[in-house]
């Protein structure tokens, strides 16, 4: 390779390195721990998962936060949310909670349907500190949400 090509290749390689080094955690918004329980008419939701999508225009605007939080349901209906790393929580702000169930005919448990009794969405507000949500969905009528934490 001629010397002139090395002179071009080296600065280009450095530029790519600096651009790649700038990607990643610098764009991550701080998160706070979020956990809780989901029930339907008092019975725990034992499979599937919950997703919290930031509400546009709130502190957790997806255009600036860029990341939803999710968590799977345990056999007792409990969940713990993850945004960037396992169990780290969710971004502070208003979110729409959606509940999903796995496809029983799919060995890989790919989600088939959104599960919201009565077709309702549930709005949650994640605040500074630890957040715990006890969510009781109903086949008819609005969901009940009790929030506690520090």
**CATH code of 117's domain:** 2.60.40.10
Say which residue the tokens 């701080």 belong to.
30
* Beta carbons of 76 and 102 less than 8 angstroms apart: no
Question: Domain range holding 59?
Answer: 26-149
Residue 69 covered by a domain: yes
Provide the domain count of the chain.
Answer: 1
Q: Does residue 50 fall inside a structural domain?
A: yes
pTM of the entire predicted model: 0.71
Asked, for residue 19, whether it belongs to a domain, the answer is no
Q: Is 105 or 75 the better-scoring residue by pLDDT?
A: 75
pLDDT of 88 reads 96
**Whether the Cβ atoms of residue 55 and residue 95 lie closer than 8 Å to each other:** yes
pLDDT at 111 over 70: no
The runs of H, that is alpha helices, within the chain are 3-22, 62-65
Residue 5, in any domain of the structure: no
Residues, the chain? 150
Task: Place 149 in a pLDDT band, splitting at 50, 70 and 90.
Answer: confident
**Is 6 a domain residue?**
no
Residue 121 lies in a domain: yes
**Residue 63: burial class (beta carbons within 10 Å; 0-12, 13-18, 19+):** exposed
Up-side HSE of residue 107: CA atoms within 13 Å toward CB? 0
Confidence tier at 105 by pLDDT (50, 70, 90): low
Domain-located, residue 86:
yes
Domain-located, residue 45? yes
Q: Is 51 helix (H, G, I), strand (E, B) or coil?
A: strand
């Amino acid at each position: 390779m001629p010397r002139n090509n090395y002179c071009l290749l080296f600065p280009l390689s450095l530029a790519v390195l600096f651009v790649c080094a700038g990607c990643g955690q610098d764009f991550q918004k701080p998160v706070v721990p979020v956990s809780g329980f989901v029930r339907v008419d008092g019975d725990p939701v034992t499979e599937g998962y919950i997703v919290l999508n930031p509400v546009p225009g709130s502190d957790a605007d997806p255009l600036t936060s860029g990341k939803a939080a999710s968590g799977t349901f345990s056999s007792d209906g409990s969940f713990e949310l993850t945004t960037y790393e396992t169990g780290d929580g969710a971004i502070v702000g208003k979110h729409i909670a959606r509940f999903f169930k796995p496809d029983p005919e799919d060995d890989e448990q790919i989600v088939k349907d959104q599960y919201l009794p009565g077709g309702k969405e549930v709005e949650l507000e994640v605040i500074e500190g630890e957040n715990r949500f006890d969510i009781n969905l109903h086949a008819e009528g609005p969901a009940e949400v009790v929030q506690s934490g520090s």
